Amino acid sequence: MQKYDYLIVGTGLFGATFAHEAAKRGKRVKVIDKRDHVAGNIYTKEIDGIQVHQYGAHIFHTSNKKIWNYVNQFADFNRYTNTPVANYNGEMYNLPFNMNTFNKMWGVRTPKEALAKINEQRQEMAGKKPQNLEEQAISLIGRDIYEKLIKGYTEKQWGRKATELPAFIIRRLPVRLTYDNNYFNDDYQGIPIGGYTQIVEKMLDSDLIDVETGADFFDKKDEYLKRYPKIVFTGMIDQFFDYRLGELEYRSLHFETEELNEDNYQGNAVINYTDAKTPFTRIIEHKHFEFGKGDKNKTIITREYPADWHRGDEPYYPVNNSKNNNLYKQYVELAQKDAKNVIFGGRLGQYRYYNMDQVLAAALKIVDKEFDN
Ligand SMILES: Cc1cc2nc3c(=O)[nH]c(=O)nc-3n(C[C@H](O)[C@H](O)[C@H](O)COP(=O)(O)OP(=O)(O)OC[C@H]3O[C@@H](n4cnc5c(N)ncnc54)[C@H](O)[C@@H]3O)c2cc1C
């Protein structure tokens, strides 16, 4: 067997960044992934000249200039700005909540009128402490926006009634008193021209890195642990320890992708379905991430359905409530005792809701700790 310094489990952004930086420092690295492709959840695949986001819409956004420069080494980004639209039973509202939304909802035209309307609506909860997500949302934004734009969407996302969800899920609701539909407030935003997969492919392109896809760590866990001096693990930390302390909770998703013989299905990359009846939360029309590039007679859409997670399903989102966070802490303590040569990283290894820029920053921080101090 080749002599490797590291085994990296997972070719997502965390694993690929670590591999790239380790190879830059002369380390030999083996990278495995249980999927049949690299890039984890940012994987995009070209179909009909359209970059299809296989695991949900991914928009890169950050205010961290260092991270923006770092990721731009691996791709050129376009000027895509995320401007999702909500469809509530056929009524279309701009997101995030801004003057366009308020004008459509109430006919108000100035920030002063909008604020007065929001404050009037919030009166319903005046003097009361919100006991659940529904009350929290009404206390922040009032009933009209809650009923049309928050309730159904949130209930579908969590698979529970808003009155049964804790208030802390919605800490704040950004309200923008300008006619600005840009979803993010970050300084930098865009989509890599030609898709995300190239970023990971370029990161892993080194003579010192060997990549094996279709390889599940748990099929040969003992052998891997014996053979590799150090492991970077970006899978589920509870699974690594065979769920010894109990299961962490995750939310899963189910994607339904369809190819249509038309140029432009919905006129926007992201449309959220905020009513309770429609079973999916959003439809992505992929070609709009790159301003309509691709076959003019075809478009590809993906419906996104939230799902409960059971063992064996893809764990897309950690559920960071206090019960799970406490259990995660116990796993970290166990790791410090029983898995000293393993670095746990990324969304699943660190059980944290990371965006791409955050996962890059987290990986680079661990790289610094590992090599540069
Ligand atoms: C639906 C959705 C939409 C998102 N949208 C955005 C967005 O718009 N903007 C943004 O900044 N971020 C977004 N994110 C977050 C982004 O996907 C993550 O920050 C990033 O992909 C995390 O990288 P990672 O390396 O930690 O994990 P992952 O990408 O999940 O990579 C982990 C890899 O490890 C592999 N693996 C796991 N277990 C094993 C095993 N036992 N053996 C071998 N391989 C294993 C997996 O197959 C996977 O390839 C979104 C996430 C989701 C789910």
* CA–CA distance, 44 with 196 (Å, rounded to integer): 6
Residue closest via CA to ligand 1's atom 6 equals 58
Q: What is the DSSP string of 24-60?
A: HTT--EEEEESSSSSSGGG-EEEETTEEEETTS---E
Using the mean position of ligand 1's atoms as its centre, give its distance from the Cα of residue 40 in Å: 5
- Structure tokens, 176: 């923008």
Q: In the numeric block, which tokens belong to residue 144?
A: 């009209």
pLDDT in tens, 182-199: 999 999 999 999 999 999
CA 231/CA 372 separation, integer angstroms: 18
Asked if pLDDT for residue 153 goes beyond 80, the answer is yes
Q: Which of 21, 58, 63, 256 to mutate to test the pocket of ligand 1 (most atoms within 8 A of CB)?
A: 58
pLDDT at 208: 98
DSSP state of 250: E
Closest by CA to 104, choosing from 120, 88, 116, is 88
Banded model confidence at residue 372, pLDDT cuts 50, 70, 90: confident
| pLDDT over 70 percentage in the chain | 99
Query: Cα-flanking dihedrals φ and ψ of residue 136, to 5°?
Result: -65, -45
CA distance 272 to 259: 19
At 235 the pLDDT is 98
Q: Please indicate whether residue 168, judged by its CB atom, sits closer than 6 Å to ligand 1.
A: no
Asked if residue 139 has pLDDT above 60, the reply is yes
Measured CA distances, 38 to 75, 105, 267 (Å):
16, 44, 30
Q: What are the structural domains of the chain?
A: 6-76+189-248+318-372 (3.40.50.720), 98-169 (no CATH)
Which residues are CB-neighbours of 76 under 8 A, at least 6 positions away? Answer: 192, 193, 194
User: What pLDDT, on the 0 to 100 scale, is given for residue 169?
Assistant: 86
Amino acid at 288: H
Tokens coding 222:
């003992």
Please tell me if the CB atom of residue 189 comes closer than 6 angstroms to any atom of ligand 1.
no
Give the model's pLDDT for residue 168. Answer: 87
- Whole-number pLDDT of residue 173: 87
pLDDT at 11: 98
How do residues 12-38 score in pLDDT, each as one tens digit?
Answer: 999 999 999 999 999 999 999 999 999
To the nearest whole percent, how much of the chain has pLDDT over 90?
95
Identity of the amino acid at 55: Y
CB distance 13 to ligand 1 below 6 Å: yes
**What rounded mean pLDDT belongs to the chain?**
96
Residue-level pLDDT at 171: 84
Tens-digit pLDDT profile for residues 228-245: 999 999 999 999 999 999
- The CA–CA distances, whole Å, from 107 to 103, 242, 270, 332, 349 equal 4, 56, 24, 52, 47
Is the CB of residue 12 below 6 angstroms from any atom belonging to ligand 1?
A: yes
CA 88 to centroid of ligand 1, rounded, Å: 30
> The tokens of 142 are what?
């009032």
pLDDT at 54 over 90: yes
Q: How many CA atoms, within 13 angstroms, populate the side-chain half-sphere of residue 259?
A: 12
Residue type, 323: K
Tens digits of residue pLDDT in 298-354: 999 999 999 999 999 999 999 988 999 999 999 999 999 999 999 999 999 999 999
Residues 154, 94: Cα–Cα separation, whole Å: 17
Q: What angle do CA 247, 243, 213 make, to 5 degrees?
A: 105
Q: How many whole angstroms separate alpha carbon 360 and alpha carbon 368?
A: 12
With cut-offs at 50, 70 and 90, classify the pLDDT of residue 9. very high
What pLDDT, on a 0 to 100 scale, did the predictor assign at position 1?
57
pLDDT given for residue 373 in this prediction: 66
pLDDT of residue 278: 97
Under the banding of pLDDT at 50, 70 and 90, the label for residue 220 is very high
- Token pair of 51, please? 């970059």
d(CA 248, CA 331): 10
* Rounded-to-integer distance, Cα 352 and Cα 369, Å: 19
Give DSSP secondary structure letters for 108-143: --SHHHHHHHHHHHHGGGTTPPP-SHHHHHHHHH-H
Q: 228, exposed or middle or buried, with CB in 10 Å at 0-12, 13-18, 19+?
A: buried
Nearest C-alpha to atom 49 of ligand 1 is from which residue?
40
- Ligand 1 pocket check: which of 53, 67, 234 to mutate, most ligand atoms within 8 Å of Cβ? 234
- The dihedral region occupied by 244, where left means phi > 0, alpha psi between -120 and 50, and beta the remainder, is alpha
Structure tokens at 99: 């003057």
Is 362 touching ligand 1 by the criterion CB < 6 Å? no
| Residues 6+ away with beta carbon under 8 Å from 260 | 298, 299, 300, 301
Q: What is the pLDDT of residue 332?
A: 98
* Model confidence at 368: pLDDT above 80: yes
- pLDDT at residue 2 tops 80: no
What's residue 147's pLDDT? 98
The neighbouring-strand residues paired with 210 are 30
